[in-house]
Every structure is written in structure tokens, then in C-alpha cells.
Structure 1
Amino acid sequence: MKKLLYLFFAVVATAACQGKKDFSPNEEPGMQRANAVSIFESKDSQKRWILNSRDVDFSDLQNAALVAPELLWKDNGKDAGKVTAERGVFNYAQRLVTLQGHVKAVSLIHGLTLETDHIYYDVDKDRVWSDKKTVVTRGGVRTVAKHGVETNSKLTQIEFKKQSTALPATVKELKGQLK
């Protein structure tokens, strides 16, 4: 956690020292904004995930408010997945990324896409989920998860939430469903 915070403040300091107007405090006291910010976490000298945002508001000491965020997941140094949205929030203490508005998650390895209005990423558990209607597309096949999905960051183990299937009780019912 301390590494992430040190890294976070190093990124903010770098943005402030670039000589451009990339970092400028808002006119209100206590407000801090930056443009073109990257927040990431490394393990064994390789980045695990990178959160890029066009604009970030750091005025809340618990959360960073993101505009046009892009979350990139890594697997053995290679890009594994990407999520884009209109806005988002990164909660430092909970290490939780929340993305909202036309959210699109793409597995760059498996050719799978998730589309929803709201998605969460738990950094510590490498868990991605949505409680909203989610459209899952793979190979031209679209499936709608009415109550959302839960998966890992590689988008390989997808669980449809509150999904139920009624199995036929008799052979006659089964034959009726096959017609």
C-alpha cells in the first residue's frame, strides 16, 4: 500500500514539474487537478495494472475522481485487458476502481468484450464485477447478463449473476423444448 501511495505522489509531482500547465490547483482552496495521469502498481519489476485518466481531481484525500479513464491489465508484461469509461473513481484505502458511463472491457488475449454502465475492479483480489445489465460478446455471439457478471481481470472466468435455468422434469418436456 505504501508503495502505491509513494508511486502515486511521484506521478503527481512529475506531472507538476513538466513545465506545462498539466498540473494546476483549482481556484477553490484544497482542490487539486492534474491532466494525463497514470496510476499503476508493479510487482517483481513488472506492472500489474495501469490506470490512465485524461483529467484527475485529487481534492478528496480518499478518492481520485477520473475523467475518461482507461484501465489496462497486464499479464507477464503483456497487455491482457483494457477497460474504458466516461468517468471513474479510484479509492486509495480500499484499492477499488469504479468506472461508469459506457463501460467497455476487452480481453486482448481471448477476444471477449463486456459492455455495461458500471463496473468495479478490486485491485487486491484481481476481481472485476458489475451489478448492472452486462452484454458479453465473444466470436459474434452476444449474451445478456441481466443482473451483471463477475470475472477476473483476464476476463477468462465469467460468472453470470443471479442466472437461473429451468431444466425439464420429464422427457416429454425435453422433447418439447428441442422443437
Structure 2
Amino acid sequence: MRKYLLFGLLPLLAACGGSDTFSPTEDAGMQLATQVSIFESKDSQKQWVLRADAVDFSDLKSATLKNPVLLLKENGQDSVQVTGDTGTFDYPHKLVSIDGHAVIKSLTENATITAEQFSYDVDKNRIWSDTKTVITRGGAKVTAKGGVETDSKLSKIELKKQRTRLPARTDELKLNKDTLHK
């Protein structure tokens, strides 16, 4: 059975004001909480954790996030981290959007993916971007003009309208024994 837990409920109930620079609306009665964590558990293990410095809960269908960090788990271990300047969590559709200098970093592989925006579908366990995306792994860099789509492990990455930059030195092209055995 899946459980969604929202930490920071007490600060949410106590917070009735907020910063004009963060709020998507200027309506009175805005609900702003700080240092919030939202996560999903299955079989007593967290599947993903979404943290933010500040969250605006004034829209009942989605939360607006400041400095979000989405941490994806694999077998209970941290595997992928997605960060950005702002974001949203759409409750009914279970979609997380992270915007502004968005970065996906694999915590198990030497891979980083950057774009202006990434989306994460909780139910389908996939991440995608429809904007220009740059994937860096080791000395290789690939640019996908139309974005990417990947699973939460970054093991299957589909590139759209790609461009590849080869390493400047030939020694960067050589495979070492460790790479071959992964």
C-alpha cells in the first residue's frame, strides 16, 4: 500500500503569510510553509522524497516550491537527485515539475543532465524535458535539442534531436576495465 506523507503540516497550519517574491498570487490568506518534505513509501521504504526551502499551498491542486530537491530511491538507497530554482507538485496528477537551472545528477553513475525544466511522473516513474537538454557522462557531452525522456534510474535515456561532442583527447575515448564490467 502506498502512503503519501507530508512533513511540515504544523508549520503549514501556523503559516498564513509569506513573501511576495515567492507567491504565484498576491491573494490574502496564502499558506506558506518552510523546510517541507513530501515523500512516498512502499513496503516501509521511501520511493522518492521531495524537499523544498519554502512551499506555497494556497492552490488546493498544486504546491509551488522554492529551491526544490527531488531525491529518487532505488532499493532504499539514494540514486538520483533533481534540483532547480522553483517547482510545482500537482497532487491530482502526481507530477513534479522542477524549473530554472534544473539539474539531474546520478548518485550511482558519473552522469549529469541539465535543462531549464524537468518533469517527474510519480506513477510512471519517469523524468523528461521538452527543452534543450545536455547530458554529460565522463568526458562525453551530448546535447538533445528537443529534450530527453528517462526512467528514474537514468539507465534508459531517449534523446530527441541530439548533437554529440567528442572528447578533445583520444585517451578520454578509451574504456577502462571498470567501465566494461558495469
* 8 Å contact from structure 1 (residues 82, 105) kept in 2: yes
Please tell me the root mean square deviation across aligned C-alpha atoms, in Å: 2.0
Aligned to 1:12: 8
2:52 counterpart of 1:53: yes
Q: State the TM-score, normalized to the length of structure 1.
A: 0.81
The C-alpha deviation readout for 1:66-89, integer Å capped at 9, x for no partner, is 000000001111110001100000
Q: Which runs of 5 or more residues in structure 1 are unaligned?
A: 18-22, 165-179
Aligned to 2:40: 41
Give the AA of the match of 2:121: D
The C-alpha deviation readout for 1:130-155, integer Å capped at 9, x for no partner, is 00000000012111001100001111
* 8 Å contact from structure 2 (residues 133, 144) kept in 1: yes
2:159 counterpart of 1:160: yes
Q: Percent identity?
A: 50
Q: How far apart are 1:15 and its partner, in Å?
A: 3.6
The C-alpha deviation readout for 1:16-42, integer Å capped at 9, x for no partner, is 58xxxxx52127543100000000000
Give the AA of the match of 2:153: K
* 8 Å contact from structure 2 (residues 12, 31) kept in 1: no
Give the AA of the match of 2:103: K
Aligned to 1:26: 17
* 8 Å contact from structure 1 (residues 110, 156) kept in 2: no
Q: How far apart are 1:162 and its partner, in Å?
A: 4.3
The C-alpha deviation readout for 1:38-74, integer Å capped at 9, x for no partner, is 0000001000000000000000000000000000001
Q: Distance in 2 between matches of 1:112 and 1:105?
A: 8
Q: How far apart are 1:156 and its partner, in Å?
A: 1.1
Give the AA of the match of 1:82: Q
Aligned to 1:173: none
Q: State the TM-score, normalized to the length of structure 2.
A: 0.79
Corresponding pairs, count? 155
Aligned to 2:130: 131
Q: Which runs of 5 or more residues in structure 2 are unaligned?
A: 19-26, 164-182
Q: How far apart are 1:12 and its partner, in Å?
A: 3.3
Q: How far apart are 1:2 and its partner, in Å?
A: 8.2
- Cα distance change of structure 1 residues 2 and 159 upon mapping to structure 2, 3 Å threshold: closer
Q: How far apart are 1:3 and its partner, in Å?
A: 3.3
Moved over 3 A (4+): 14-17, 27-30
Q: Distance in 1 between matches of 2:11 and 2:123?
A: 26
Give the AA of the match of 1:13: L
Aligned to 1:79: 78
- Cα distance change of structure 1 residues 153 and 42 upon mapping to structure 2, 3 Å threshold: same
* 8 Å contact from structure 2 (residues 2, 41) kept in 1: no
